[in-house]
Structure 1
Amino acid sequence: MVSMEALRARQPKELLQTDVFRTVPPHDLTPTDLADLASAQVLTDPAKVLDVYQRHVSSGGADSAVLIRAFAQLGFLFDPNSFFSTADRQLLTKHKQFRSLAHDLWKVRHELPDAVAPLLLYSMACMDYRCVPLLPHLLDAVERSLTNFRVEALSLLLHSIASLGLGGEQVIFDEVDGSRTRDYGPLCAMVIQELGRRALLEEDDPDSGGSVHDWSRAAFGVVMSGLYDVSETANDYPVLPLLIVRACEQLQDKSELEQSGWAQFFLYQTLYCVDVEKPTCEEAVKRAMPMWIQELLHHRWLDSIVIHAQPQGADQMQRDVDMCLQRTNTQALLNCSFGREWDEQHCWFAGFMMEPKVALECDSMLPLGPGRPRPSGWVGLKSRIARKIGLRVVTLHECFWAHLTEDQKDEQMLRIRAQVGYTHNKEMEQRRKKIRQKAHTYKGIESKRSDWTRQPAPPSDEAAFT
């Protein structure tokens, strides 16, 4: 039998400096990686966050604390207040290391505590990334611990689930083994009912929790999921007006409303969507919001609210569809605002607007399973509003679009044009026709700069008449 001494004698001197037979990672591996993730150099750099994760896994570690922290930091880096564009977010979620991080989180899903479910769901919503294998476990954790979460966490949960497009309809995921999960569609209504119960409790105890941001975000989550008329089980009263009351009662004057940030966007969009979709609680919602708040939001919408709330930068799929529109000579307005004809201002922006009254939307969210796309909550809500005001909506799903060749994409666009009755404006085409900026000539006879001479300046009036 070969002895350990004989093996060591045949090893290179470089390997003798470390214990190559050690299989257990050092006990201080996790604290070091957590400290690196919290450092100033890594905290704001997605690439360095992935590097720390990769180093942690390469060293033999798979601690759930490091995986949760890395995933959450990436989510917060791409939150609605970040400077990264939609294309940056899409590049991240398609990166091999990020997919490995999501896969490792799924492998340790049974070690994840229920308390991290709101954090991970919010991170997915920020990155527009629907991790289908991990979502059933997180949604089960939400259902188990629903009554234990604070108002802040419930508001974040409702908005995140609605943003991922998992509210208001049947939600069934495909498992890894080919089977399918149960329906998670009712979970969104359960969160709304729990928030309604907390809103009634706060009426008796104002210090029980929840800020204007929490209640307004929850109200917009209700609107995004389309569950306007979900009622609180105790008194059968719609929850949405209760959320509006809790949000508006914390705004005492004009300055507080102007400094409330995203709460302004949530409140005004809630009011607008209620006015367009007209649920049974429409009057109760409008009465719940004081008139001075409605008027101030209306005056501030265009120049102080909507500009900061729109996604900035390029979208990869939208850019690809735009190239297809150019190849097929299809006239479409990019990010065109739309609304009712008598609206003083438009509150929504279509991905592309074609004539006659056709909105073309791009959905980049991962499907619930092969061949089962589901748009994000934002695209779903925008499509509902567009149909209510008389537009025809065509949604292109990236899970199908990305597998087409360039010729197939052009063919699909021409087919869409035929189905929606697309009309082409010849006058607009002539106005937009590119005009040559440089004179056309042949090689070898170009005019040289030395052939040109400066013309003498015209005489001034004084010199001409003296």
Structure 2
Amino acid sequence: MSLSRLGCRFRGPCRGGRGPRLRWSHVRAITYTPTMVSMEALRARQPKELLQTDVFRTVPPEDLTPTDLADLASAEVATNPAKVLEIYRRHVMSGGMDATVFIRAFAQLGFLFDPNCFFSAADRQILTRHKHFRCLAHDLWKVREDLPDAVVPLLLYSMNCLDYRCAPLLPQLLEVTRRHLATWRVEALSLLLHSIASLGIGGTSPLIFDDAAGHRSGDFAGLTAKLAQELALRPFEEDSVQDWARAAFGMVMAEDYDVEGPEGHVLPLLVARACELLPTKTELENSGWAQFFLYQTLYCVDVEKPACEEAVKRAMPMWIQEVLHHRWLDHIVLLAQPQGADEMQRDVDRCLQRTNTQALLNCSFGREWDEQHCWFAGFLMEPKVALECDSMLPLGMGRPRPSGWLALKSRVARKVGFRVVTLHDCFWRHLTEDQKDEQMLRMRAQMGYQHDPGLEKIQKKIRQTPHTYKGLETKRKEWTPQPGPPSDDTAFT
């Protein structure tokens, strides 16, 4: 910057009258151009994270995969979903892209949220919507060529536990399943059948996925039927009651009642093999999830009336049916129901409250003459309307498909006389609050919803604190509790 910019304009001689007269307004500042950049100047301009790395190191870094696998297997990480994602992120940030670490992390998260876990459905949805979990699923898709075929049952079971349908990865997993039908063991066949049916990608309806480029995959319809037929060809094993019962319920979810094997219908054969491994009442009561699978299979067969109904009922001894019937409410169904409401169900419940819509949350339903109900509707409204919430990811853009459990529940509800309305999260989450309320009012009109004014008056919330300025509250009670019912002594006098 010149001195004239600073207000220095000297036209006279220098002090003492020495030297020529200089016009300081024409003097320019001298610029300095360094010929070499110093290391201090470079370090001052580098980010801190780059200063921790020696870019001139010639020795490659040590392989981090064994360390990451050991940390994933540690006790403090194995039971903490946040720690699992932290180890995965550390592996990626270190430059690693090992498929083994991705498989172990994804499977470990799946086992943490299995049906016997203490996490709620909302916890599972918070995890699957987290950015790091979706990055893990994306990295699994990127290394899909390095995935061994033996991990396909494990990955599908993990998706089933997480209620997470990874559409870009599923075509390859289903193709491997179809290619190795004759080589899977009984345990793998049963697990594959139940997992695919639970994810809602079983049955005979068309099953086509959209890849990342927008192209359509091949049709995987009928894969659960092929798995069931392969199970019917396998010899009877004495130590797999869970496998046979799980496979039978998987066929029910996929609506594969009419699948036939070399000896006739496959479903009665699977039920008979599971019941043969339960010779006593004690073993039946200690069989865990096998009780749930067998009783639900029996109930659904009785409601949906397939061609193999009589064969399934004859395959299950009467004493097993009686024990399951007596133990259902207290010892089976309470342990099998998911704990807590999911995020979408909470949001729909808030919408129902805003629109003053009367609905019962997680209410049981069944046939009018049933002694006990085996199913629970997401929301139950009058007259006989079941409102269900589907949180499963769609097969592609604008192509939702509910889970196998929700599809089976909807079929049973329609069979017993209910009208079923399914809300898909892939559409619902993109609506504003006003749009959600408008959709709910429109559904009420289409379903013939009936409002009970008397029930509204009973359920109306009463203000517990006075609505006035502080210091002006009234001292007199403005409400009295409702009188209680008359006692037995005075009721008939």
Q: Is the 8 A contact 1:25 1:61 kept in 2?
A: no
CA distances 1:307-364 after superposition (whole Å, capped 9, x unpaired)? 0000101210000000000000000000010000000000000000010000000000
Quote the residue 1:94 is aligned against: 129
Find out whether 1:368 has 2:428 as its counterpart.
no
Bigger mean CA offset, 6-15 vs 355-364: 6-15
| 1:304 shift after superposition | 0.5
Contact 1:363 1:375 (C-alpha < 8 Å) held by counterparts? yes
> What is the deviation of 1:438?
3.0
Matched, 1:54 2:54: no
Tell me the SS of whatever aligns to 2:117: coil
Which of 180, 184, 188 does residue 216 from structure 2 map onto? 180
Partner SS, residue 413 of structure 2: helix
2:412 and 2:92 mapped to 1: Cα distance? 46
Q: 2:407 aligns with which of 380, 394, 417?
A: 380
Q: 1:19 to 1:423 in 2, by over 3 A?
A: same
Q: Distance in 2 between matches of 1:24 and 1:414?
A: 68
Superposed counterparts of 1:427-438, under 5 Å = 427-438=454-465
Residue 353 (structure 2) pairs with residue 326 (structure 1):
yes
Q: Which moved more, 1:146-155 or 1:355-364?
A: 146-155
Assess if the C-alpha contact under 8 Å between 1:373 and 1:399 holds in 2.
Answer: yes
1:356 alignment counterpart: 383
Work out whether residues 25 and 59 of structure 1, in 8 Å CA contact, stay in contact via their aligned partners in 2: no
Alpha-carbon contact 2:365-2:376 (below 8 Å) kept: yes
User: How far 1:439 moved relative to its partner?
Assistant: 4.0
Which residue of structure 2 aligns with residue 131 of structure 1? 166
Letter in 2 for 1:342: W
Tell me if structure 2 keeps the 8 A contact 1:156–1:218: yes
Pair 1:143-2:178 in alignment: yes
Counting only pairs closer than 5 Å after superposition, residues 64-103 of structure 1 correspond to structure 2 as 64-103=99-138
Mapped partners of 2:372, 2:255: distance in 1:
23
Relative to structure 1, the CA distance from residue 393 to residue 45 in structure 2 (aligned partners, 3 Å threshold; closer, same or farther) is: same
Once the two structures are TM-superposed, the CA of residue 443 in structure 1 deviates from its matched residue by 2.3
Q: State yes or no: 1:63 paired with 2:98.
A: yes
**Counterpart check, 1:245 vs 2:276:** no
Give the equivalent residue in structure 2 for 1:397: 424
Deviation at 1:149, TM superposition (A): 1.3
Listed as ranges, the matches of 1:64-463 within 5 Å are 64-168=99-203, 169-198=205-234, 201-202=235-236, 206=237, 211-232=240-261, 234-235=262-263, 237-446=264-473
Q: What's the CA shift string for 1:174-224, capped at 9, x where partnerless?
A: 1111110111112111111111111xx22xxx45xx511111011000000
Q: Give CA-to-partner distance per residue, 1:380-421, whole Å, 9 cap, x none.
A: 000000000000000000000000000000000000000010
Q: Deviations over 1:407-456 (max 9, x none)?
A: 000000000000010000111111111122234443232479xxxxxxxx
**Structure 1 residues 328 and 68: CA distance shift in structure 2, 3 A:** same
- Which residue of structure 1 aligns with residue 489 of structure 2? none
Structure 1 unmatched ranges of 5 or more: 1-5, 449-466
Q: TM-score, normalised by structure 1?
A: 0.90
Q: Contact 1:93/1:99 (CA < 8 Å) preserved in 2?
A: yes
Tell me how far 1:27 sits from its aligned partner: 4.0
User: Secondary structure in 2 aligned to 1:148?
Assistant: coil
Q: Which structure's CA Rg is the greater one?
A: 2
8 Å contact from structure 1 (residues 318, 351) kept in 2: yes
- TM-score by length of structure 2 reads 0.85
Q: Distance in 2 between matches of 1:322 and 1:69?
A: 37
SS at match of 2:217: coil
Write 1 or 2 for the structure with the bigger share of helix: 1
Deviations 1:53-106 (A, max 9, x none): 000000000000000000000000011111111111110111000010000000
Q: How many corresponding residue pairs?
A: 434
Asked whether the 8 Å contact 1:350–1:361 carries over to 2, the reply is yes
Contact map agreement 1:8 1:16 (CA 8 A) in 2:
no
1:347 partner letter: C
User: CA 1:441–1:17 in structure 2 vs 1: closer, same or farther (change >3 Å)?
Assistant: closer
Pairing 1:27-46 to 2, within 5 Å after superposition: 27-46=62-81
140-149 or 121-130: bigger deviation: 140-149
Separation in 2 of the partners of 1:165 and 1:23? Answer: 52
